[in-house]
């Protein structure tokens, strides 16, 4: 059998309806991990939908937990040759709230529905279709070759939408079982719908609050205006000291020293095109001298997510007593996440804003990771995808958003390659989540080609 045969088998599973049948069944599981009432459904997804196909492919399977109250994980393993490369796959079967009432007429988040060239359903983009594509492609290679030609492990978690509680613990506890030379996984969007994409890590994330508690109660602005400080004004100026009027970060510790040449080279042909509702990048926003792609995939951003002072819904003629803002730093490799809040504190103090308080808004810090775009495995994956599709894939140094990639890159010590099967307009986390069928079909071909090539001579040295 040949590479082309493996790809043909993967595409046949789409064309004859088997892939859709599997995906429709998985979409029907209401795996809303943020709803405690769905705990049993999370376990059923692993038992009923993940275990059987892996066992049919000769994988051993075990459900494990990260600790008390943590969502379950499935570990699947197929070891063919101790001297062969070992690849770890990853996906998550949990989803965000369905928001049933907000979808298109006659479209349910729990029923796979085709409209035009799209399939709709909660979790289709994030992440049920993505790991279903990879599992189907694995099966196609196994059927075509009679073996994979490499060792395969898979980790499916059911708590990613809650911040992956227990994931790092599971990776540390089962380090030997999950150890792999390389992670090949799928999540997040392509650069655009028509261009296959590989991203090599993830930006980190820190979410924190700034606030001022000036005094108890509000006071009449006619009687006290000019005599009492206004925390809304003070906090606005504090924010302006952190972020310039065009979105540039003004705290040196929160930006990398420079854009690495390998990152700049990888992003040279990457263009952020129109997104949802025709959105296009604002060319004059962010770090000067960088392209929009470099700002999203190679730099840091500090965003004000919310700001409140006084009573916005019913303003009165009074000086507010408090002001509050929530900020989020998305950062790349080179930023010390443990120094983010101390750096903000030092900066505010230097600029005379000692009255502003700073604290983490969430317990978890997501750490930035990045495989060098010039790493041989990154180049190997790009060449494999180009051979399958006839298109030059976008090679992104890291995902612009945040994934728990540090669990794989740092705890397991694996190189990390992410091959997404979604696109920026998929309505992920929103009503009417969907994916184009052409993208899913191409994803099956891409992954069958990658998995086939993994079992062939000529993979990069480990």
Domain boundaries, the chain: 3-202+368-454, 204-256+300-360
| Across 223-238, average pLDDT | 97
Q: Is the pLDDT of residue 345 over 60?
A: yes
- Interstrand relation of 394-396 and 197-199 (parallel, antiparallel or unpaired): parallel
CB contact at 8 A, 434 and 124: yes
From the CA atom positions of the chain, what is the Rg in Å? 24
CA torsion angle for 327, 333, 338, 344 (degrees, to 10)? -40
Tens digit of each residue's pLDDT (9 = 90 or more) over 284-331: 999 999 999 999 999 999 999 999 999 999 999 999 999 999 999 999
Q: What are phi and psi of 368, to 5 degrees?
A: -80, 140
| Across 206-221, average pLDDT | 96
* The domains spanning 3-202+368-454 and 204-256+300-360 adopt the same CATH topology: no
Architecture of domain 204-256+300-360: 2-Layer Sandwich (3.30)
Q: Is the pLDDT of residue 274 over 80?
A: no
Tens digit of each residue's pLDDT (9 = 90 or more) over 298-308: 999 999 999 99
Model confidence at 420, pLDDT cuts 50, 70, 90, reads very high
| Across 180-205, average pLDDT | 96
The confidence score (pLDDT) of residue 59 equals 98
Tens digit of each residue's pLDDT (9 = 90 or more) over 89-137: 999 999 999 999 999 999 999 999 999 999 999 999 999 999 999 999 9
Instruction: Work out the percent of the chain whose per-residue pLDDT is above 90.
Output: 93
The confidence score (pLDDT) of residue 276 equals 56
Q: Is the pLDDT of residue 462 over 80?
A: no
Domain range 3-202+368-454, its CATH number among 3.40.1190.20, 3.40.630.10, 2.60.120.10, 3.40.50.300: 3.40.630.10
The confidence score (pLDDT) of residue 461 equals 77
Secondary element (H or E) of residue 170: helix 167-173
Q: Is the pLDDT of residue 277 over 70?
A: no
The strands making up 415-418's β-sheet, listed across from edge to edge, are 60-65, 72-78, 151-157, 86-92, 182-185, 415-418, 197-199, 394-396
| Across 22-50, average pLDDT | 97
| Across 48-54, average pLDDT | 98
| Across 43-66, average pLDDT | 97
Model confidence at 366, pLDDT cuts 50, 70, 90, reads confident
The confidence score (pLDDT) of residue 363 equals 77
Q: Is the pLDDT of residue 61 over 90?
A: yes
Instruction: Work out the percent of the chain whose per-residue pLDDT is above 70.
Output: 98
The confidence score (pLDDT) of residue 442 equals 98
């Amino acid at each position: 059998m040949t590479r082309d045969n493996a790809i043909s088998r993967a595409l046949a599973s789409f064309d004859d309806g088997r892939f859709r049948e599997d995906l429709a069944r998985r979409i029907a599981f209401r795996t809303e991990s943020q709803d405690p009432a769905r705990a049993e459904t999370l376990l059923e997804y692993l038992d009923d939908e993940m275990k059987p196909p892996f066992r049919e492919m000769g994988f051993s399977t075990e459900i494990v937990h990260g600790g008390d109250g943590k969502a379950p994980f499935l570990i699947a393993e197929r070891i063919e040759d101790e001297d062969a490369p070992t690849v770890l796959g990853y996906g998550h079967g949990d989803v965000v709230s369905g928001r049933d009432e907000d979808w298109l007429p006659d479209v349910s988040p729990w029923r796979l529905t085709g409209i035009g060239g799209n399939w709709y359903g909660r979790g289709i983009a994030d992440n049920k279709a993505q790991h279903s594509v990879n599992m189907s492609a694995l099966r196609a290679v196994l059927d075509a070759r009679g073996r994979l030609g490499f060792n395969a492990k898979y980790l499916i978690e059911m708590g990613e939408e809650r911040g992956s509680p227990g994931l790092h613990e599971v990776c540390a506890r089962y380090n030997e079982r999950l150890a792999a030379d390389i992670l090949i996984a799928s999540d997040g969007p392509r650069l655009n719908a028509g261009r296959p994409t590989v991203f090599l890590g993830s930006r980190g994330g820190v979410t924190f609050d700034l606030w001022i508690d000036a005094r108890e109660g509000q006071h009449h602005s006619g009687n006290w205006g000019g005599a009492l400080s206004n925390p809304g004004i003070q906090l606005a100026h504090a924010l302006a000291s952190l972020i310039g009027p065009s979105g540039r970060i003004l705290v040196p510790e929160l930006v990398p020293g420079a854009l690495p040449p390998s990152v700049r080279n990888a992003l040279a042909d990457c263009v952020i095109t129109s997104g949802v509702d025709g959105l296009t990048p604002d060319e004059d926003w962010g770090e000067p001298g960088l392209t929009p792609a470099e700002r999203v995939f190679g730099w840091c951003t500090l965003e004000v997510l919310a700001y409140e002072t006084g009573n916005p819904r019913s303003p009165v003629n009074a000086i507010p007593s408090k002001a509050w803002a929530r900020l989020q730093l998305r950062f790349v490799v080179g930023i010390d996440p443990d120094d983010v809040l101390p750096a903000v504190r030092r900066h505010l103090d230097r600029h005379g804003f000692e009255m502003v308080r700073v604290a983490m808004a969430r317990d978890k810090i997501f750490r930035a990771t990045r495989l060098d775009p010039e790493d041989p495995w990154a180049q190997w994956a790009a060449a494999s995808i180009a051979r399958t599709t006839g298109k030059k894939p976008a090679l992104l140094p890291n995902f612009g958003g945040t994934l728990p990639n540090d669990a794989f890159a740092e705890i397991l010590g694996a190189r990390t390659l992410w091959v997404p099967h979604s696109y920026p307009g998929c309505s992920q986390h929103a009503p009417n989540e969907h994916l184009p069928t052409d993208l899913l079909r191409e994803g099956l071909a891409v992954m069958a080609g990658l998995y086939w090539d993994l079992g062939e001579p000529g993979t990069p040295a480990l």
